[in-house]
Structure 1
């Protein structure tokens, strides 16, 4: 029995040694394959030296290739840390409660300077001279610099020479996170081709690259990231998904279409239209606040709840009415009309003079809003609420003020009755009715330029 047990132990040890040897061999082969695939370096990276030479800095900042060939001949190293002269002044603590003004020095490298400025030939020379591709004395790598400044050729060069596509900066950002402009699209493509993490998170907000692209209204980036498998419903530390991030971003008139396209893509990829942030605001709240009518229509068509309240007790209708005076060129009347046709709550009649005061620059918004009521008690307060600056809309406001002495028309009362019967189904039922188009439009609160 003892002999048998001993033989069994020897057999187990033998099998273990074989497994270990096999494991070590596999590791060796994998590492060899990685080395074989990696681009060849012309020299081994040496410890970086600090350089304050103005001649070297001038050649780097101007992209003077000929000068750099003289400054970095074959056999030399370009593994330097540049300490620029000057910089911005800032207060620095000197101890014992004392502060002094001193120049803020931001350390950089020749790679950072050339990569960020698109000097691809100079960058190639530095890489051939053995510059450390992942050196980050100022907290970011040269790859961050090239991506942030939308330099695709330099980005590709750095990646070919082994730059870490997932390097994390001092601020907790990966290179994909700094691809935040339309011009950085090619950089983002190269990063993903070289293994950038599509769902990598920032350290401060837990944003993914898709959050960044959505927040900046970048349809091409969003399309690219979704094709690479980006998680469409990931929430950041504020509870925002990429869809929430896109809707919550303030948008200029010329940017509305870009953000609409982004939201279209995200919803097509399965984005949740009901996700709320920490303040219980959903994408519809945010799209109303930023006055993007196309996105509001899209969200409502995708099932967004028109009367959801945030923590402050405000519905989407409150959000749009608050900003009409700032965004009247964004067609806020379209949003008010869409909300009402989907069954939105109306403004308390006693608050209408206040709404009139803040929204009078947009007569169409006032028209849509007032046409949701069968009866209005117009007083002198209403007249006082309209700013003299909107005199060009005099005819419209005179039609509003005339309601103080004239009841609403029978036609309007019939409209109100039918809309009340349909409740929140106006947008669904009215288009299907066998009625002339102008009557359907009237029921859907189309603008006429006057109140009757």
Structure 2
């Protein structure tokens, strides 16, 4: 029993006789109570809590820190805390355990027996934070209905709405707002509003909810990011691209501006290009984003996509380059194309779109040397068509395309779809992919 009890420590903020602790340890009630919390065993919880001698366990605090560091301990009879040698303690309570695990029935039993809903051991999170972070709406509602503070701030400076970071936490967010959560509440360090958090994590339903509750769409955080900027700046996994696109649609429909700059003078378009989210890039450009805006480093959005193209092939970076060029992006200085080829060769479609924006190319041995043998082997047909341009001029068809694009610069996407031309030719003018250059 002693070996098992050493797996956790226990304390009670109110004072009571030390012989009660000794009795609890001897009988194993503390351990039984702990195990019942972990598995949601309400029957055992009732049996122990209804014993007056052990009713204090309702608000007990468990230290679940590193077991290896608990090589010695002592009782402090003022607080009856079991001290560990570890400086940082991982403290939790019965409410925290049941709330984060979704044991609503057990949570209800604890609350009915007077458990403190605001207890936050060590200045940490409340049980409400735990319920929301673990996406347990029934537990969140129970805590709120028993007086939990919907705007409690954790030691990390976060309110419960700030920890609703998963799609499954939507109902928790809804409950919090119904119980008076501050829609414009800010996190202490980052100064994020709940809308920033929802946008950053690509949560369109949360964003829609917060906007309906009056969230300010262009409020800036500590990094000078608006929610739109936060959505565009956060890494987008390939399976999340649609979610982030929907978030940006909602924010723009609510009046978000596409031009706000962060501390480094980056626009949302710079950030969306870095994340290679083609749909978001197209959306921002269609809403007036500056395709050639420069950041503090003197880089335009085109620079950002070319830097990541070979790492984000699953994101279809070629579509980002295509959109930027069709909206009038500056092109790479021809002398730097071998360097760009070296960085982007793993995405031949990106290379194709970029090079088809030039009427003439001076292909040299440096181009051949820029493409590793393994990449050449995987995309031989494309690179053979490219390297053949060292001996062959661009086709008349391509030269005609370049001439039309120059003539329609700045109007391409408005004019080309209206031209009485077959769809195939329209797509050709807009730099659609063919798998080779000619």
TM-score class normalised by the smaller sequence = 0.7 to 0.9
Native 8 Å contact 1:89 1:103 kept in 2: no
Q: Per-residue displacement from partner, 1:211-263 (whole Å, max 9, x unpaired)?
A: 11111111111111111111111100101111101111111111111111111
> In structure 1, what is the equivalent of residue 97 of structure 2?
113
Structure with greater Cα Rg: 1
Match of 1:61 among 27, 35, 38: 38
Match of 1:349 among 310, 334, 340: 334
Q: Name the SS of the counterpart of 1:83 in structure 2.
A: strand
Q: Name the SS of the counterpart of 1:198 in structure 2.
A: coil
2:381 is aligned with 1:427: no
Does 81-90 or 441-450 show the bigger shift?
Answer: 81-90
- Shift in Å, 1:104: 4.0
> In structure 1, what is the equivalent of residue 200 of structure 2?
215
Distance 2:240 2:42 in 1: 39
Q: How does 1:434-449 map to 2 (within 5 A)?
A: 434-449=420-435
Q: How does 1:327-338 map to 2 (within 5 A)?
A: 327-338=312-323
Gap change, CA 1:48 and 1:109, over 3 Å in 2:
farther
Distance 2:51 2:31 in 1: 21
Q: How does 1:409-420 map to 2 (within 5 A)?
A: 409-420=395-406
Q: What do you get for the CA RMSD once the two structures are aligned?
A: 2.0
Distance 1:266 1:223 in 2: 9
Distance 2:183 2:119 in 1: 23
Q: How does 1:389-400 map to 2 (within 5 A)?
A: 389-390=374-375, 391-400=377-386
Native 8 Å contact 1:308 1:315 kept in 2: yes
2:61 is aligned with 1:82: yes
Q: Name the SS of the counterpart of 2:60 in structure 1.
A: strand
Distance 2:404 2:386 in 1: 23
Distance 2:15 2:324 in 1: 64
> In structure 2, what is the equivalent of residue 128 of structure 1?
112
Distance 2:235 2:57 in 1: 44
Gap change, CA 1:236 and 1:85, over 3 Å in 2:
closer
2:86 is aligned with 1:102: yes
- Shift in Å, 1:55: 2.7
- Shift in Å, 1:61: 2.0
Native 8 Å contact 2:137 2:171 kept in 1: yes
Native 8 Å contact 2:233 2:275 kept in 1: yes
- Shift in Å, 1:388: 1.3
Distance 2:42 2:202 in 1: 37
- Shift in Å, 1:70: 1.0
Distance 1:60 1:438 in 2: 65
Q: Name the SS of the counterpart of 1:298 in structure 2.
A: helix
Unpaired segments ≥5 residues, structure 2: 1-11, 71-83
Distance 2:64 2:242 in 1: 44
Q: Per-residue displacement from partner, 1:73-100 (whole Å, max 9, x unpaired)?
A: 1874555232235536689xxxxxxxx9
Distance 1:223 1:89 in 2: 47
Gap change, CA 1:214 and 1:383, over 3 Å in 2:
same
Gap change, CA 1:379 and 1:146, over 3 Å in 2:
same
> In structure 2, what is the equivalent of residue 284 of structure 1?
269
Unpaired segments ≥5 residues, structure 1: 1-45, 92-99
Distance 2:99 2:44 in 1: 17
